[in-house]
């Protein structure tokens, strides 16, 4: 599996900040090879880091800067939205999860690392969801 075909859900990247050393190390190892994220991932990460984890804006910006240097960032477009609507209905994903899946598919990724979605699930015959902490 190459970095060009991996997409990270927000929850995986948030483990970079975890007190759980095993999960933090696993997230860091996965991220070292690079991959894809979407603007949605950046937004969700920022919200959780500043509100729930109480990181300063400077700390949050620093971590995001590192993530952005190793990951290609995909925009959220009308195409992403339309694809997410279809995926949400077809697979019964919550809409914001469907946006992540749609972004991964549009980025032509083969693997979506996520702790929140069903590990092992195949989507649209092209994307496999993997919980990297199992």
pTM of the predicted model as reported, rounded to 2 decimal places: 0.94
SS3 11: helix
pLDDT per residue over 7-46, tens digit each?
999 999 999 999 999 999 999 999 999 999 999 999 999 9
CATH fold of 3-130 reads Rossmann fold (3.40.50)
**Residue-range domain boundaries for the chain:** 3-130
Angle at 33 between CA 115 and CA 22, to 5 degrees: 45
């Amino acid at each position: 599996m190459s970095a060009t075909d991996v997409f990270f859900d927000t929850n995986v990247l948030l483990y970079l900040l975890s007190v759980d050393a095993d999960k933090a190390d696993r997230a860091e190892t996965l991220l070292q090879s690079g991959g894809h994220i979407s603007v949605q991932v950046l937004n969700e990460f920022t919200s959780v880091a500043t509100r729930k984890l109480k990181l300063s804006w400077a700390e949050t910006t620093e971590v995001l800067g590192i993530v952005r240097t190793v990951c290609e960032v995909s925009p959220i477009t009308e195409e992403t939205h339309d694809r997410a609507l279809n995926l949400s209905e077809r697979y019964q994903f919550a809409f914001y999860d469907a946006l992540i899946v749609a972004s991964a598919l549009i980025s032509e990724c083969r693997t979506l690392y996520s702790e929140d979605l069903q590990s092992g699930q195949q989507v649209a015959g092209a994307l496999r969801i993997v919980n990297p902490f199992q």
